[in-house]
C-alpha cells in the first residue's frame, strides 16, 4: 500500500470511556479504519486533558480517572480520509475531530539488518564493527 506524499492527518480526540456498540470507541475506530484499508492509525493516551464540558481528566494519584483523553491519528490520501469521515461521524457521540495536511516522508514496514559478519542479500558479507 502506498500513501501519496501530500496526504491528510485525521486527528480524533475522545475519552477512554467512550463506547460504540458496546466496545471501546477507540478500538472500533481503528478496526473500522483497518477494515477500510486506511494506511495507518495510532491511539495515543493522554495523562491529562479537558474538553467542551471543561471537566478535567487526569492520572493524578489522588484523583484517578477512568476517562483519560485519547487521540487517534490516522494518515492516508485525501480521497481515503474523506471517504472515512461519514463512517466516523456515525460512530462518534462526542469529541473533537480535526483534519490537516500532512507531508509523508516515508511509509514502510520495519527493515531488519543482518547481524555483523552475516551475509547480506546478494551474498556480500555485512560490514564488521
Domains and CATH numbers, the chain: 6-103 (3.30.70.120)
CA-closest candidate to residue 18, choices 57, 69, 54, 55: 69
User: Distance of alpha carbon 98 from its chain centroid, rounded?
Assistant: 13
pLDDT tens, the chain, 129 aa long? 788 899 999 999 999 999 999 999 999 999 999 999 999 999 999 888 877 777 777 766 555 566 789 999 999 999 999 999 999 999 999 999 999 999 999 888 876 666 665 555 555 555 555
Tens of pLDDT, residues 52-81: 777 777 766 555 566 789 999 999 999 999
Strands (E), 1-129: 6-15, 19-20, 23-24, 40-45, 48-49, 57-58, 69-76, 96-103
* Helix 25-35, helix 78-91: angle, nearest 10: 140
pLDDT value at residue 26: 98
Q: What is the per-residue pLDDT for 29?
A: 98
Please report the pLDDT score of residue 55 as a whole number: 73
Amino acid at each position: 500500500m502506498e500513501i501519496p506524499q501530500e496526504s491528510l492527518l485525521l486527528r480524533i480526540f475522545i475519552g477512554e470511556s467512550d463506547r460504540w456498540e458496546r466496545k471501546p470507541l477507540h478500538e472500533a475506530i481503528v478496526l473500522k479504519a483497518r477494515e477500510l484499508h486506511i494506511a495507518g492509525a495510532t491511539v495515543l493516551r493522554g495523562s491529562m486533558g479537558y474538553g467542551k464540558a471543561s471537566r478535567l481528566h487526569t492520572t493524578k494519584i489522588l484523583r484517578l480517572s477512568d476517562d483519560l483523553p485519547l487521540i487517534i491519528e490516522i494518515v492516508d490520501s485525501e480521497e481515503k480520509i474523506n471517504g472515512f469521515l461519514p463512517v466516523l461521524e456515525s460512530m462518534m457521540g462526542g469529541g473533537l475531530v480535526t483534519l490537516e495536511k500532512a507531508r509523508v516522508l516515508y511509509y514502510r514496514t520495519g527493515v531488519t539488518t543482518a547481524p555483523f559478519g552475516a551475509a547480506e542479500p546478494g551474498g556480500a558479507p555485512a560490514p564488521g564493527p
